[in-house]
Structure 1
Amino acid sequence: MSALAEPVTGARLTLKLENLQVTGSFKARGATNKLLSLPPEAISRGIVTASGGNHGLAVARAARMAGVPATVFVTENATEEKREKLRRWGARVEVLGAVWHEANAGALAQATATGAAYFHPFADPQVVAGQGSVALELLEAVPDLELVLVAIGGGGLISGMAVVLKALKPSVRIIGIEPTGSPTLKASLDAGHVVHLDRVTSRVATMSCAETDAAVFALIRDHVDDVVLVSDEQMQSAAHWLWFELGIAADLSGAAAIAALQSGVVVLPEGTRCGALVCGAGPEGIVR
Structure 2
Amino acid sequence: MITLSDIEAAQARLDGRIRRTPLIKADNLSTPITTAELYLKLECLQVTGSFKARGATNRLLATPERDLANGIVTASGGNHGVAVARTGKLAGVAATVFVPTNVSPSKVAKLKQWGATVEIIGNVFDDADKAARAYAREIGAVYFHPFADPLVMAGQGTLALEILDELPDVDTFLIAIGGGGLIGGMGTAIRALRPQARIIGIEPVGCPTLKASLDAGHVVTIPKITSAVATMSCARTDERVFERVRAVVDDVVLVEDQAMIEAARWLWFELGLAADLSGAAAVSALRDGLVSVTPGEKVCALVCGAGPEGLS
- TM-score normalised per structure 2: 0.91
Describe how 1:256-275 pairs up with structure 2 within 5 A.
256-275=281-300
* Mapped contact 2:71–2:93 kept (Cα < 8 A): yes
What is the match of residue 242 of structure 2? 217
Match of 1:254 in 2: 279
Matches of 2:29 and 2:198, distance apart in 1: 25
- 2:253 equivalent to 1:228: yes
Distance in 2 between residues matched to 1:228 and 1:257, nearest whole Å: 10
> Matched residues in 1 for 2:291 and 2:47: separation?
30
For residue 2 of structure 1, report the CA deviation from its aligned partner.
4.9
The one-letter code of the counterpart of 1:96 is I
**Pairing partner for 1:9 from 20, 31, 34:** 34
2:138 counterpart of 1:113: yes
Deviation digits for residues 229-261 of structure 1 (CA, Å, limit 9, x no counterpart): 000000000000000011000000000011001
- The offset of 1:154, in angstroms, is 0.3
Question: In the alignment, what sits opposite 1:194?
Answer: 219
Normalised to the residue count of structure 1, the TM-score between the two structures is 0.99
1:95 aligns with one of 120, 132, 150? 120
Shift of 1:143: 1.1
Aligned partner of 1:239 in structure 2 is 264
How far has the Cα of 1:33 moved from its partner? 0.3
2:190 corresponds to which letter in structure 1?
L
- 2:309 is paired with a residue whose SS is coil
1:136-175 paired onto structure 2 within 5 Å: 136-175=161-200
> How far apart, CA to CA, are the structure 2 residues paired with 1:219 and 1:39?
27
Are residues 1:72 and 2:97 paired? yes
Superposed CA offset, 1:140-192 (max 9, x none): 11111111000000000000000000001101110000000000000000000
1:34 to 56, 59, 62: 59
Closer, same or farther: CA 229–206 of 1 in aligned 2, 3 Å: same
In 2, Cα distance between the equivalents of 1:78 and 1:108? 19
Unaligned runs of 5+ in 2: 1-25
Return the alpha-carbon distance in structure 2 between the equivalents of residues 155 and 8 of structure 1.
26
1:267, CA displacement in angstroms?
A: 2.3
Superimposed CA distance per residue, residues 185-239 of structure 1 (whole angstroms, 9 cap, x where no aligned partner): 0000000000001000100000000000000000111110000000000000000
**Is the contact made by 2:173 and 2:300 (CA closer than 8 Å) also made in structure 1?**
yes
Q: Deviation of residue 21 (structure 1)?
A: 0.1
Between the aligned partners of 1:73 and 1:182, the Cα distance in structure 2 is: 20
Q: Which amino acid aligns with 1:101?
A: D
State the aligned residue count: 287
**Share of identical aligned residues, percent?**
61
Counterpart of 2:74 (choices 15, 30, 49) is: 49
Distance 1:71 1:2, change over 3 A: closer
State the superposition RMSD in angstroms: 0.9
